[in-house]
Amino acid sequence: MDAHKKQKSVSPEKAGLELFAMATSFMKSRAICTAARLGLADLIQSGIQRIDELASQINAHPDALYRLMRALVSIGLFRETSDKKYELTPMSIILCESPMSLRHCLSMMGDPSWWGSWGCLDQSVTSGEPAIEKVLGMDYDRYLAENPEILGIFQNCLSVMARVNNPALLQSYDFSKYAKIVDIGGGHGELLFDILERYPQNQGFLYDLPHVIESIAQANIERCSFISGDFFDHVPRDGDIYVLKQILHDWNDEKALAILKNCQTAMNAHARLLIIETVLSDRIEPSQSMSYFFDLHMLLTSTGRERTVGEFESLLDQADLKIDNVFPTGTSFMIIECRKK
């Protein structure tokens, strides 16, 4: 039965209930993000399990906190015992501090830079412009620079996502034949460091803005050099392979093309460029639903977008580059391998 016929078979009453559940899911999202920001899972794990104890630890109103906990228990985030204490569930364990904790990611989702921007979706759809500057009074980079606590949460979120996805990326692509690997806009270097650990014969070059390099250069990673600069101005020359992971989706086509042209200029005839991004299907696929919503997030918070293979091909063609291969990774990312024409 195709999707259209299946939809017709759903009664108006059931369709209405499903639509209402989807429309009110923002309430659950906000409650979960609040639990993450308050650190409730860590407190419960430490043995602080009664409402009055929890409220005292986070300076919260006990009755208001109880009402939050009651809602979170109802969706399975926590469990209430017979003696009115709270316990962790498999979902809330993921919020406890650990290398793979989702606490920082969910805290970021509850920040005004995300939450407030989504509240202006109608304005962005009408204007085609990001909402974040109207919400914050500044662009996202300046907001992070002026709010070190939020910047820390954001960086921790990126690190967790890297730890989740990097193993699959390394399984999907062989870096052994590339002696010099240049990670462009590589941030804190999680991907590059993982590559160097897996391939002990390779040399890495982490290239990012001066304040980023300053914050990470003291890491003293073996076989890794740190280079400061702006990929809109130039890209280091003489690399064997260049890596752009989640860079192009931050920018509109004009800016993305400028980055690609600088890569093309830096590459020798044998060099390769890897674009690691979420790649959308040409047709709408329900399995990519989350990617479509993150594309909307790019609309709200930047000039960027997620793209299809065809859209990447068009940009690459304008930069005198072409696709050699596309590697699926078993994650939301694909690896697009490119070379000079």
Cα(44)–Cα(33) distance, integer angstroms: 16
Dihedral angle, C-alpha 227, 232, 235, 240, nearest 10 °: 120
Cα(60)–Cα(37) distance, integer angstroms: 13
Cα(26)–Cα(301) distance, integer angstroms: 18
Contact 98, 160 (CB under 8 A): no
Q: 110-131: buried (b, 16+ CB within 10 Å) or exposed (e) per residue?
A: bbebbbebbebeeebeeeeebb
- The question of whether 249 is a catalytic residue gets the answer yes
Name the CA radius of gyration of the chain, rounded: 23
Cα(323)–Cα(229) distance, integer angstroms: 26
Contact 323, 303 (CB under 8 A): no
- Record the tokens describing residue 5, joined without a space: 């016929």
CA distances from 213 to 58, 81, 266, 275 (A): 35, 49, 20, 21
Residue type for position 99: P
88 forms beta bridges with 78
Cα(161)–Cα(250) distance, integer angstroms: 17
- Helix then strand then coil, in percent of the chain rounded to 5, is 55, 15, 30
Selecting among 188, 249, 270, 297, the annotated active-site residue is 249
Active site residue ranges: 249
